[in-house]
């Protein structure tokens, strides 16, 4: 599958380390696949520990000069980066849909959402204030002066490959920190395009470094290398727990945004039309592949039937298909393994007595498309009740 952009230079198929575009040391590669068609859209370097060490060293060198930049200089760079992201919004959205699968309307929204973080922190860069604390003695003053923590590692997921990266990079740069980034292997092109634009905005070599590849090797180096002083991770609870434990050896600061299993509650006095609209927006956005979406709908008895009928009708109106097609509201899951997992959760619920109101398995489109599904009579012993679904169920 060929991706067509207005600016084809945004498609990069190499790692970005110390201001240079490089292949993996062993020349090995990873496939980037379009989730809708299953077609290969790119080969990217399959990097490992050696490349990770080099990017950490590059970031540490860049850190020494970046920390001496004034708040205004850091702000100016972030503003320029934001401008370039917005100028290339359509191309970035096309890249996102090609490698992640979400509908173009959602992809455009994500680019704007991600750019907003860069714009916000371009202003916050000028507002890193200190503090004065009352002293316990009359011959001392206690002043708090905030300093950059050092090199920051950013590990991001495939469900929001643009916004999850900008929301980590922008505050780090605003605070005076260089970054080393490991985006998901499934969706590296969005991250690499951001690096292209950062380079155009004037990022010095080593300030922003991005690679994908051998996940365990890269993760071990990011958590064990003492030059990395903070790690920010968005992903599963299981992996987050391991990263926290591994970071303890070098006493790194950590920021974790992990999985969720949120309920959506509808009481008898609710505006049912508004509740249905909210439930659809929460559950079926990004084909349910968000950590903050509603997994369980808890509906009070008095409005259960009305809510269920209206929800089914709303879901019937959702068009499933390739994210590039006009009017598509629900795209594919990221890959066939994800679809199999979600269908396994559905099958477990059906075997334990859940009633299928709509959907209930794979979409007729096949591949990694799962039909938007509604199940009732769900009980606590079902996987559906306690597990994060990460699908349109």
Active site residues: 257, 291
Torsion, Cα 294 113 335 243, to 10 degrees, reads -80
What Cα–Cα distance (Å) separates residue 252 from each residue in 21, 144, 210, 231?
29, 21, 20, 7
For residues 250 and 243, give the distance between their C-alpha atoms in angstroms, rounded to a whole number. 12
For residues 13 and 11, give the distance between their C-alpha atoms in angstroms, rounded to a whole number. 7
303-319 in b/e form (b: 16+ CB < 10 A) is: beeebbebbeebbeebe
3 state SS of 331: coil
- Is the CB of residue 274 less than 8 Å from the CB of residue 311? no
For residues 68 and 156, give the distance between their C-alpha atoms in angstroms, rounded to a whole number. 28
Rounded to 5°, angle at Cα 226 from 23 and 219 = 45
For residues 289 and 15, give the distance between their C-alpha atoms in angstroms, rounded to a whole number. 27
């Amino acid at each position: 599958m060929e991706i067509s952009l207005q600016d084809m230079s945004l498609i990069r198929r190499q790692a970005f380390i110390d201001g240079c575009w490089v292949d993996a040391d062993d020349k090995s590669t990873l496939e980037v696949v379009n989730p809708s068609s299953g077609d290969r859209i790119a080969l990217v370097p399959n990097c490992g520990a050696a490349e990770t060490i080099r990017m950490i060293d590059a970031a540490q060198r860049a850190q020494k000069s970046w920390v001496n930049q004034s708040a205004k200089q850091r702000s100016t760079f972030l503003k320029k980066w934001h401008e370039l992201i917005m100028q290339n919004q359509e191309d970035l959205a096309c890249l996102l849909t090609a490698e992640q699968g979400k509908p173009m309307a959602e992809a455009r929204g994500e680019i704007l959402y991600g750019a907003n973080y860069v714009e916000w922190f371009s202003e916050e860069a000028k507002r890193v204030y200190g503090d004065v604390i009352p002293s316990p003695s009359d011959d001392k003053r206690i002043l708090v002066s905030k300093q950059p923590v050092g090199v920051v590692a950013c590990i991001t997921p495939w469900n929001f490959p643009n916004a999850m990266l900008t929301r980590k990079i922008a505050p780090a740069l605003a605070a005076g920190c260089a970054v080393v980034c490991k985006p998901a292997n499934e969706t590296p092109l969005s991250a690499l395009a951001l690096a292209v634009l950062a380079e155009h905005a004037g990022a010095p070599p080593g300030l922003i470094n991005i690679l994908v590849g051998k996940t365990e090797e890269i993760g071990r180096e990011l958590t064990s290398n003492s030059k990395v002083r903070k790690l920010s991770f968005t992903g599963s609870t299981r992996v987050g727990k391991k990263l926290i434990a591994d970071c303890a050896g070098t006493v790194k600061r950590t920021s974790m945004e992990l999985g969720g299993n949120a309920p959506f509650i509808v009481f008898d006095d609710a505006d049912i039309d508004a509740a249905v609209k909210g439930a659809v927006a929460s559950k079926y956005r990004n084909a349910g592949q968000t950590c903050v979406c509603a997994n369980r709908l808890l509906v009070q008895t008095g409005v259960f039937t009305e809510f269920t009928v209206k929800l089914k009708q709303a879901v019937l109106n959702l068009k499933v298909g390739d994210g590039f097609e006009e009017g598509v509201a629900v795209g594919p899951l990221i890959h066939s393994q994800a679809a199999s997992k979600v269908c396994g959760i559905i099958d477990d619920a059906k075997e334990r007595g859940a009633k299928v109101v709509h959907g209930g398995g794979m979409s007729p489109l096949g591949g990694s498309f799962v039909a938007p599904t509604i199940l009732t009579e769900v009980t606590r012993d079902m996987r559906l009740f306690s597990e994060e679904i990460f699908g349109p169920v």
